[in-house]
Amino acid sequence: MTPTHTRNTAMTRLVAAEPQLYVHDVVADSELYSRMLGFSVAYIHGEPPFYGHVIRDGVRLNLRHVDEPAFDPVRRDTEQLLSASITLDDATPLLLEYQTAGVDFDQPLRTEPWGARTCIVCDPDGNLLLFASSQEA
C-alpha cells in the first residue's frame, strides 16, 4: 500500500499501539490482568480510580473506567468484536499458562485457515482479547 501523502522530510516511525479497554472497575480489572493473565500493573490513576495501565513484555493495555458497557454484548459476540489483538511467538505455552491460572477461553486454541494459532479470552467487562501466533505447533 502506497502512502496517500508525501513529505520532503523523513517519515515518523510508529513504535507501539496501546488499546483502550473499557472496564467498570479499574482496580479489580488491573488485579485480574495481573493475577490471571500475567500482566504487571504499571499505574492506576485517579480518586476514585478511572484509568490504569498494564504491561506484559511489549504489550501495553490501557484500562479506562466506564459506568455502562461500551459495547452491545450481543453484537460483540455475534460479530466477535475484538478489543485487542496481541501477537506472540508461540500460542501453545500461553494457552498452558492460562489454563493453569484458570482462565476461561471465549475461543480455545485453534489453527486458522491462514496458519495462525489463535485463542480468545474475554475479560469480566466483555473485552475480547485475541492472542495469535503465526507459528504452527
Give, for all 137 residues of the chain, the pLDDT tens digit: 655 555 556 788 888 889 999 999 999 999 999 999 999 999 999 999 999 999 999 999 999 999 998 888 889 888 989 999 999 999 889 999 999 999 989 999 999 998 999 999 999 999 999 999 975 54
pLDDT of 76:
87
Task: Give burial (CB, 10 Å; 0-12/13-18/19+) of 3.
Answer: exposed
Print burial letters for 92-110: b (CB count within 10 Å at least 16), e (below 16).
Answer: eebbeebeeeebeeeeebe
Phi, psi of 61 (to 5 degrees): -120, 135
Give the domain ranges of the chain.
Answer: 20-133
| pTM (two decimals) | 0.85
CATH 3.10.180.10 matches 20-133: yes
Query: What cell was used for 51?
Result: 484509568
